[in-house]
Amino acid sequence: MKRYDDKENWDVLVCGSGPAGLGAAVAAARLGARVLVLESAGQPGGTICAVPFMPVNRLRTEGGIRSDVHEAFVQNLMAVSPFAAYPGPEDRINGDGFCPHPEYAELAIYRMLDEAGITLRLFSPVMDAEVENGRVCAVIAREKRGLVRYRAKIFLDATGDGDLAAAAGCRFSEGKDEEPTDTSVRLQIVPEADTSGESREPIHMPITLGFSLLGVDCPRFLEWLSQHGADFREMLARADEQGLYVAAWYGFNHGTVPGVIGVNNGAWLHQKLTSNGLDSADLTAARRAGLRVAADLVTILRENRVPGAENCALDRAGSILGVRDTRRIVGEYVLTFADSQSSREFPDTIARKYGAIDANQLFIGTMDSGFAYPYRSLVPQDVDGLLLAGRCASATFLGHSAGKSMGNMMALGCAAGAAAALCAAQDIKPRALDAALLRETLQEKLGAKLS
Ligand SMILES: Cc1cc2nc3c(=O)[nH]c(=O)nc-3n(C[C@H](O)[C@H](O)[C@H](O)COP(=O)(O)OP(=O)(O)OC[C@H]3O[C@@H](n4cnc5c(N)ncnc54)[C@H](O)[C@@H]3O)c2cc1C
């Protein structure tokens, strides 16, 4: 394969442009860093754009501004079109969010990146890292033209899957672990959704294909649903017996466009909860089953003449599959379930996680909303020159699931991006960064709410 060298020497190179990558890129650029974002998909935004109108939760805190970086996203969303988004639901999992139209959200992201002077390259999966003397010094992206080497002072893994850190040799954990939990008081174990008869211990959260329906009278349908939950569940159970593809649960969010409704879901009821988001065979199976779930929901709603959805049709499926958990890279601190239950503060608190524990189909639980998040969870133990942000940051399974909403992931990104910019400017390793300086920078230069 042909090899190329990118000519630039970037200050900060961010891999992945989900909520964590966007938060990181904007924070670093606002602090003066020259930032490049490499994104594997043909669309920025990661899970923001994966399910139409899915609430991007915790972009604010109790309605107030969470950071200038979060607010840049919200304001661009508001500015790009009246059809771009509306305030999201408030319930035990969701809150302080906005439900975006995926393509308008994409336009808002481009505006935000342009405003900050950030360079974005789509279709650029990072598949390897060059490590010299324990420090990441370049990444290799597999592009259409060949393999391209990119150099930067500091690298940031916001790929969700921890692809860059794993390629650089970092240790990681995957799936549910044996962490002690106080189940009697605060945690509810959700019964395993799989009824296929094969006994197996669930390991991963489901892999979901989001989609949207059109031709729906949303107010009438949502009203019917709120009053006829039991009827809907019976309808689904019958459909499952008939061999239709039914999801473990459905979450409906009306669109900004008349007649369109977004459908988040818990994936096909019989999807193995051992399905691994790093395994192409499992991903292929999840995509195929996800499309069946979408098509069969249309059949179920039409055949049962569900009020408001009698004439519905499949609109579109999400542009990427929704993977909820894969690698969690081992960092200088491993965030735990116990941390999510305490009001413990750290000397290096650089973000907070709000909301609830939502380990989809494995655990739903409460947490101390707004619990503290330490900088050390963004610093991998095994290499230098690299920071983590978002889903792949250092945590136990439940430590990650506690407040895994997108606004929280953006806050981790914001902190990692600020740290990367400071390290690049001072030419120091992330583990040598003064956490007090990082906290001060986040609060004073990026308006981050840390207390
Ligand atoms: C189906 C589903 C439903 C959810 N529901 C909600 C909800 O309703 N509200 C909410 O707030 N949160 C929800 N979440 C949780 C939330 O979306 C995630 O926790 C969050 O998106 C994680 O952010 P991230 O930036 O770390 O990862 P991601 O959003 O996964 O973004 C990672 C990005 O990196 C890119 N990437 C991956 N590998 C590479 C590579 N090798 N090179 C370059 N780029 C790469 C990906 O294409 C993607 O753009 C849901 C998650 C899923 C999967």
User: Where do the structural domains in the chain lie, given as residue ranges?
Assistant: 3-178+325-445, 211-317
Smallest CA-to-CA distance from 433 within 424, 442, 444 is with 424
Tell me, in angstroms, the distance from the centre of ligand 1 to residue 120's CA: 17
Tell me, in angstroms, the distance from the centre of ligand 1 to residue 322's CA: 7
Task: Give CA separation, 201 vs 175, 191, 218, 275, in Å.
Answer: 11, 11, 38, 11
Smallest CA-to-CA distance from 413 within 393, 389, 380 is with 389
- Model pLDDT, residue 234: 97
Q: Please identify, by atom number, the ligand 1 atom nearest to the C-alpha of residue 208.
A: 1
- Model pLDDT, residue 185: 41
Q: Please identify, by atom number, the ligand 1 atom nearest to the C-alpha of residue 41.
A: 47
111, 95 in Cβ contact below 8 A? no
Q: In a 3-state reduction of DSSP, which class is residue 183?
A: coil
- Model pLDDT, residue 195: 46
Q: Please identify, by atom number, the ligand 1 atom nearest to the C-alpha of residue 323.
A: 53
DSSP line for 360-393:
TTTEEE---TTEEEEGGGGSBSS-BSEEE-GGGS
What are the residues whose beta carbons fall under 8 Å from the beta carbon of 38, sequence distance 6 or more? 13, 14, 15, 16, 121, 124, 125, 126, 139, 141, 150
Q: Please identify, by atom number, the ligand 1 atom nearest to the C-alpha of residue 97.
A: 11
**Residue 287 burial class via C-beta count within 10 angstroms: exposed 0-12, middle 13-18, buried 19 and up:** middle
- Model pLDDT, residue 390: 98
Tell me, in angstroms, the distance from the centre of ligand 1 to residue 230's CA: 32
- Model pLDDT, residue 189: 55
Per-run averaged pLDDT (10 residues), the chain, 451 residues: 94 98 98 98 95 96 95 98 96 94 97 98 98 98 97 98 98 90 55 48 91 98 97 97 96 96 96 94 97 98 98 95 97 96 95 94 89 98 98 97 97 98 98 98 98 91
Tell me, in angstroms, the distance from the centre of ligand 1 to residue 18's CA: 5
Tell me, in angstroms, the distance from the centre of ligand 1 to residue 38's CA: 15
- Model pLDDT, residue 190: 55
Instruction: Specify the CATH number for 3-178+325-445; select among 3.30.980.10, 2.70.98.50, 3.50.50.60, 3.60.21.10.
Output: 3.50.50.60
Tell me, in angstroms, the distance from the centre of ligand 1 to residue 424's CA: 26
What's the whole-model pTM score?
0.96
* Residue nearest to ligand 1 atom 27, measured at CA: 160
Say how far apart CA 274 and CA 277 lie, in whole Å. Answer: 10
Q: Please identify, by atom number, the ligand 1 atom nearest to the C-alpha of residue 163.
A: 41
Q: Please identify, by atom number, the ligand 1 atom nearest to the C-alpha of residue 43.
A: 49
Residue 101 amino acid letter: H
- Model pLDDT, residue 69: 98
Say how far apart CA 30 and CA 446 lie, in whole Å. Answer: 8
Q: Which residues line ligand 1 (CB under 6 A)?
A: 15-21, 38-41, 46-47, 51, 54-57, 125-126, 158-161, 163, 208, 264, 322-324, 390-391, 404-406, 409
